[in-house]
Structure 1
């Protein structure tokens, strides 16, 4: 029992994340945790590279991850950040089982919960209510990506940055400025000048 309590203590964050949408019994929680693996990663570790088939999704217990692609092997485009309590993965590759075009990198030393595609499918069979949980995650992700696409088409870079600060206040001091610049779609040089203008207001 002490060992089980220890496992539950370490995994409390992911269980709380699930509990926002579905209620698991203690037996279901234990079964879910048995299908996951928790690992520690140092900063700059690449968890997934473009051209690979994504076989896992990741939940962040601590630290920060990012997903990005590289245009013509030159310019990085940050698609997503994930800090404590967030999920991240290459959903195109994970679902289609085809090689993806995203990198997933650890920005800040992290503890990550890993769920493989195989175990993911087993969990759907053994705990059907988890299908609802992961469907909600997918729907929220779709809404977020569409909102970001529309923002890139319709509002200024300054407005996108202000929205980023409002939506992700904990990331401002933890993520390098060049990555925030990439996320909102501007060069680091433009971002630096824009930030200086905003500070003068």
Structure 2
């Protein structure tokens, strides 16, 4: 069965028949490594369910420094939600870190699904809850704990990112320097 079918059924119940209708609202797309899902200044017209590959969301500050905002892998949703919902230009860029296969859903089809599919509404509610919790934890760990505790939480909760993304990307995501991350990792290995 389709990866999205299994994903939805973790959070809501959808029949195989209803899933066929659900899936018809999505477009399959391959995105090669380093290609963009979204570029800064564009309005996000789609949200992407990643079936294969890894992506990153980032912005570049006035000094030209890249800041990683989100990391995505299989069975994660990628996109700039603010731009998608508000139809405003994005301040972010989302690109493929690896070759990716995604399912894209437009705002128009998202609204259709919300009206036609109870499972989609249940899924959205659960994802909103999980996203809020994850965001609160990320903020708390960023502002309240040492780099060591923050990194340990990251490794314990997102071990799959450690293997998929290089250390400089992880350091940026955690809001620390590469050197700090290197020191933290060495310290953890000694323990």
- TM class by shorter chain equals over 0.9
Structure 1 equivalent of residue 103 of structure 2: 113
Give the deviation of 1:97 after TM superposition. Answer: 1.2
Residues of 1 paired with 2:183 and 2:12: CA distance? 45
Task: Give yes or no for the alignment of 1:177 onto 2:167.
Answer: yes
Q: How do 1:71-82 residues align onto structure 2 when only pairs under 5 Å count?
A: 71-82=61-72
Cα offset for 1:200? 2.4
CA distance in 1: counterparts of 2:159 and 2:47, whole angstroms: 24
2:122 aligned partner:
132
Q: How does 1:71-110 map to 2 (within 5 A)?
A: 71-110=61-100
Report the Cα distance in structure 1 between the residues aligned to 2:188 and 2:118, rounded to whole angstroms: 49
Q: Following superposition, which runs of at least 4 residues in structure 1 exceed 4 angstroms of deviation?
A: none
- Residue 42 of structure 1 corresponds to which residue in structure 2? 32
* TM-score normalized by the length of structure 2: 0.94
Q: Which runs of 5+ in 1 are unaligned?
A: 1-8
Q: 1:194 to 1:71 in 2, by over 3 A?
A: same
User: How many residue pairs are counted as aligned between the two chains?
Assistant: 191
**Could you report, residue by residue, the CA deviation over 1:125-163 in whole angstroms, capped at 9, with x for unpaired residues?**
222441221122122112211110111111111111111
Deviation, 1:25, is 2.3
In 2, Cα distance between equivalents of 1:119 and 1:73: 38
1:19 aligns with 2:19: no
Q: Does 2:134 align with 1:144?
A: yes
1:58 aligns with 2:52: no
Native 8 Å contact 1:57 1:88 kept in 2 = yes
Aligned mate of 1:193, from 173, 183, 187: 183
> Are residues 169 and 81 of structure 1, via their aligned partners in 2, closer, same or farther at CA, if it must alter by over 3 Å?
same
Equivalent positions of 1:159-174 (< 5 A) are 159-174=149-164
User: Structure 2 CA distance, aligned partners of 1:197 and 1:23?
Assistant: 45
Q: Secondary structure at the match of 2:33?
A: coil
1:13, distance to aligned residue in structure 2 (A)? 1.0
Aligned partner of residue 98 in structure 2, secondary structure:
strand
Q: CA RMSD in A?
A: 1.4
